[in-house]
């Protein structure tokens, strides 16, 4: 703990800490090449380690043979069913499996579509977002239940698909995909990637906040939904994706601006909220 506080004091006062000051040596990796050699901020080993651990965690695909993944999906279903309080749905309704009968499948499909999945088989939609997108949905519901109820009551806003899209774009921007996906992005999608400075700032704030990535995604989703409500009558309602997609991409631009302008002694989520309020919600047309 003393080492952590000492590092922070040095960073705030001198805006520079070199990884060589730590006892452990970091092997050469793709992440190190991305995160090193920034003029105004070098990562400590602890900050680098927290980033690497997060990347491993959020790069996992959804696995329907994994009991923990299936339990999380069931938790999403149960919580939504509870909030909907739909008397037409059976108390014994479970998420769709091969063993479910047709009647039960129809009941569960109503809830999955209400959540915003494309069909009654939500596992198919996790290909891009992986298990992190499901964790994000559950975290959002737990911390923003009132907003989630409002989203469920909005007929043309697809909560699940928007969460999957947001989580994928944020992870892409912050180099939190697999190494192969990162290499592809470095070749073809450089315009949607954080600079080394922005990425290092993210690692700095991550070191103090294990839920930083989830909170960033939550703030993006909240702002997207607010702007969607303002613009939902523009264009055809059935083409809601055409309305949500440009708003979603602009939320990543706001995240970029926030990481450019935040101070190292500030609370990043507070700063991001203010940035959305000033630069995103008021200017996006």
134-143, pLDDT tens digit by residue?
A: 999 999 999 9
The residue ranges of every structural domain in the chain are 2-61+160-280
Nearest to 209 by CA among 24, 81, 47, 96: 47
Can you say how many angstroms the Cα of residue 103 is from the centroid of all Cα atoms in its chain? 34
Average of per-residue pLDDT across 156-170 = 93
The per-residue pLDDT for range 33-43, each reduced to its tens digit, is: 555 544 455 67
- What b/e sequence results for 226-264 when a residue is b if at least 16 CB atoms lie within 10 Å of its CB, and e otherwise? bbbeeebeeeeeeebeebbeebbebbbebbbbbbeebee
The per-residue pLDDT for range 49-96, each reduced to its tens digit, is: 889 899 999 999 999 999 999 999 999 999 999 998 754 444 444 555
| C-alpha distances out from residue 164 to 30, 167, 170, 225, 255, Å | 25, 5, 10, 14, 17
Higher pLDDT, 192 or 281: 192
The per-residue pLDDT for range 229-241, each reduced to its tens digit, is: 887 766 656 556 7
Phi, psi of 208 (to 5 degrees): -100, -10
Q: Radius of gyration of the chain from Cα atoms?
A: 20
Average of per-residue pLDDT across 112-120 = 91
pTM of the model: 0.80
Per-residue model confidence (pLDDT) at position 63:
92
């Amino acid at each position: 703990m003393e080492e952590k506080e000492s590092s922070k004091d040095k960073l705030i006062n001198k805006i520079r800490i070199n990884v060589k000051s730590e006892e452990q040596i970091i092997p050469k990796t793709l992440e190190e090449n991305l995160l090193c050699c920034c003029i105004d901020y070098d990562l400590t080993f602890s900050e680098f380690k927290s980033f690497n651990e997060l990347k491993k965690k959020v790069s996992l695909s959804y696995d329907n043979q994994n009991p923990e993944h299936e339990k999380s999906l069931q938790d999403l279903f149960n919580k939504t069913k509870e909030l909907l309080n739909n008397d037409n749905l059976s108390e014994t309704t479970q998420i769709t499996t091969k063993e479910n009968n047709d009647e039960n499948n129809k009941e569960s499909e109503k809830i999955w579509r209400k959540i915003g999945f494309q069909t009654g088989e939500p596992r198919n939609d996790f290909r891009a977002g992986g298990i992190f997108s499901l964790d994000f949905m559950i975290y959002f519901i737990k911390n923003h239940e009132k907003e989630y109820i409002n989203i469920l009551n909005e007929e043309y806003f697809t909560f699940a698909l928007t969460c999957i899209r947001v989580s994928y774009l944020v992870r892409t921007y912050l180099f939190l995909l697999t190494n192969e996906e990162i290499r592809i992005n470095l070749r073809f999608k450089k315009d949607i990637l954080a600079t080394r400075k922005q990425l290092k700032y993210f690692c700095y704030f991550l070191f103090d906040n294990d839920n930083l990535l989830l909170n960033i995604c939550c703030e993006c989703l909240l702002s997207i939904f607010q702007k969607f409500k303002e613009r939902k009558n523009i264009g055809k309602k059935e083409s809601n994706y055409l309305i949500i997609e440009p708003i979603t991409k602009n939320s990543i631009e706001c995240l970029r601006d926030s990481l450019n302008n935040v101070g190292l002694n500030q609370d990043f989520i507070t700063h991001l909220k203010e940035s959305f309020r000033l630069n995103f919600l008021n200017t996006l047309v």
